[in-house]
Homo-oligomer: A and B are copies of this chain.
Amino acid sequence: MSKKPAPDRISAPSVADVAREAGVAPSTVSRALTMPGRIAEPTRLKVEAAARKLGYIVNQTARNLRIGQTRTIMIVLPDELYIGASQTVLEVLRSAAAALTARGYSLVIANVSREAQTDEHILALAFGGTISGVLLMASPVPSIGDRNLLQAGLPLVSLHFDMSAQNVPSVISNDSAAIGEAVEALVGLGHTRFVYIRGRPDNYHDVERLKGVRLALQRCGLPPDELSTMQGDFCFSGGTSAAQRYLALAPQDRPSAVVCANDDTAIGFIKTVLDGGLSVPGDVSVVGFDGAAVGAFMTPSLSTVQQSTAEMGRRAVDLVIGMALGDLPRPPLRTEVPCQLVLRQSVRALPADPS
């Protein structure tokens, strides 16, 4: 407030500077600022005043080096940070970031794609000592040669993918059960013939969701051959190409219910069949997965399975910080956060069959 010590100082003041200003030893400064109670009140106040006067801010790099910890969590994003309508990964990222900063942690993004040298970068970061924990978002464990992220000995939590089998605590949606609910709702509306439009091959979500569809149909007593599948890719384009195949079917051969691996697929599908002259939900009912915000504003509005992204992020952060602090010697391996079915204009009840 009074006068600035140095408006454009090159090097920031250090504990030594503060100590000199306050007339005490550097160790006293450090303790005064970080160990309440360890230093007598009058001395502490003197130090605090000196620190404020000099505009002292602790050098985190030096601090981290000394204490061997960083309060920094690394986030590994999926192969491809696809930007479409489904933004589950981003929503979880937002919630995790909020939870982390609220607890005084920083967050570094390790990657936004997954090219050749990306895993190397991730591992260098993990082994470089700047990281206190890792959040793995919808990603396999980064590895290079015979070295992988698990060996870094860092607290590690998987989001979206269930890796409990590999002993990695996982925070996941109940993909299979949730999509099953959607299928049961469609059966309840009179649908008996289904298409499932798949995501990328070998993807965890695709496998789980397809499984959920199959199980639900079985529970409803429908024979397995009432379900056909079409290949998709979790993107608009996958929905579009599946729709073209759907349109190519003879009208009476078209299943009345289409369940999609995610919202983008559903959106691509709907747009294409509408352009092809069909009505949604008049001719075909469509359900997506993820709960993209824009779904409510599509025409027709999109039925979907809403993931609880905010809670997933929070839970994962609780886990990884707990592990980093050693509070969780045996973290739960599976934390399942339930989804919520949202039925909108894109589905309708089938008129009772007179036959």
Q: Mark A residues whose CB is within 8 Å of B.
A: 1, 7-8, 12, 55, 57-62, 64-65, 70, 72, 81, 83-85, 87, 90-91, 94, 97-98, 101, 104, 106-113, 118, 121, 123-125, 127-130, 146-147, 151, 153, 236, 267-268, 270-271, 274, 292-294, 296-299, 301
A281 to nearest B CB, angstroms?
13
Q: In whole angstroms, how far apart are the Cα atoms of A112 and B299 in the complex?
A: 31
Q: A9: nearest residue on chain B (CB-CB)?
A: B153
Q: In whole angstroms, how far apart are the Cα atoms of A297 and B70 in the complex?
A: 44
Report whether B8 and A153 are in contact in the complex, using a CB–CB cutoff of 8 Å: yes
Give the residues in chain B near A268, CB-CB below 8 Å.
Answer: 297
Report whether B101 and A297 are in contact in the complex, using a CB–CB cutoff of 8 Å: no
Q: 25 A-B pairs, CB-CB below 8 angstroms?
A: A8-B153, A12-B127, A12-B129, A60-B124, A60-B129, A61-B64, A61-B70, A61-B129, A61-B130, A62-B129, A83-B91, A87-B87, A98-B113, A106-B108, A106-B109, A106-B125, A107-B108, A109-B109, A236-B296, A236-B297, A267-B294, A270-B297, A271-B298, A271-B301, A294-B294
Interface centre among A8, A123, A271 (most CB of B within 10 A): A271
Contact for A293 among B7, B72, B84, CB less than 8 A: B84
Give the residues in chain B near A274, CB-CB below 8 Å.
Answer: 299
A129 to nearest B CB, angstroms?
4
SS class, residues of chain A in contact with chain B:
mixed
A315 to nearest B CB, angstroms?
17
Report whether A109 and B97 are in contact in the complex, using a CB–CB cutoff of 8 Å: yes
Give the residues in chain B near A60, CB-CB below 8 Å.
Answer: 124-125, 128-130
Give the residues in chain B near A125, CB-CB below 8 Å.
Answer: 60, 106
Report whether A85 and B83 are in contact in the complex, using a CB–CB cutoff of 8 Å: no
Q: In whole angstroms, how far apart are the Cα atoms of A1 and B151 in the complex?
A: 15
Give the residues in chain B near A94, CB-CB below 8 Å.
Answer: 81, 83, 112
A292 to nearest B CB, angstroms?
8
Report whether B65 and A61 are in contact in the complex, using a CB–CB cutoff of 8 Å: yes
A324 to nearest B CB, angstroms?
15
Report whether B236 and A128 are in contact in the complex, using a CB–CB cutoff of 8 Å: no
Known: A84-B293, A98-B112. 14 other contacts (CB 8 A): A12-B127, A60-B130, A61-B65, A62-B65, A83-B94, A84-B294, A85-B294, A97-B111, A98-B113, A101-B111, A106-B109, A109-B109, A236-B296, A298-B298
Contact for A112 among B101, B104, B236, CB less than 8 A: B101
A276 to nearest B CB, angstroms?
12
Give the residues in chain B near A97, CB-CB below 8 Å.
Answer: 109, 111-112
A83 to nearest B CB, angstroms?
6
Give the residues in chain B near A236, CB-CB below 8 Å.
Answer: 293-294, 296-297
Q: A56: nearest residue on chain B (CB-CB)?
A: B127
A96 to nearest B CB, angstroms?
9
Q: In whole angstroms, how far apart are the Cα atoms of A298 and B109 in the complex?
A: 32
A275 to nearest B CB, angstroms?
8
Q: In whole angstroms, how far apart are the Cα atoms of A130 and B101 in the complex?
A: 16
Taking A108-B106, A130-B61, A297-B268 as contacts, is the C-beta distance between A55 and B98 under 8 angstroms? no
Give the residues in chain B near A130, CB-CB below 8 Å.
Answer: 60-61, 64
Give the residues in chain B near A85, CB-CB below 8 Å.
Answer: 85, 293-294, 297
Report whether B83 and A124 are in contact in the complex, using a CB–CB cutoff of 8 Å: no
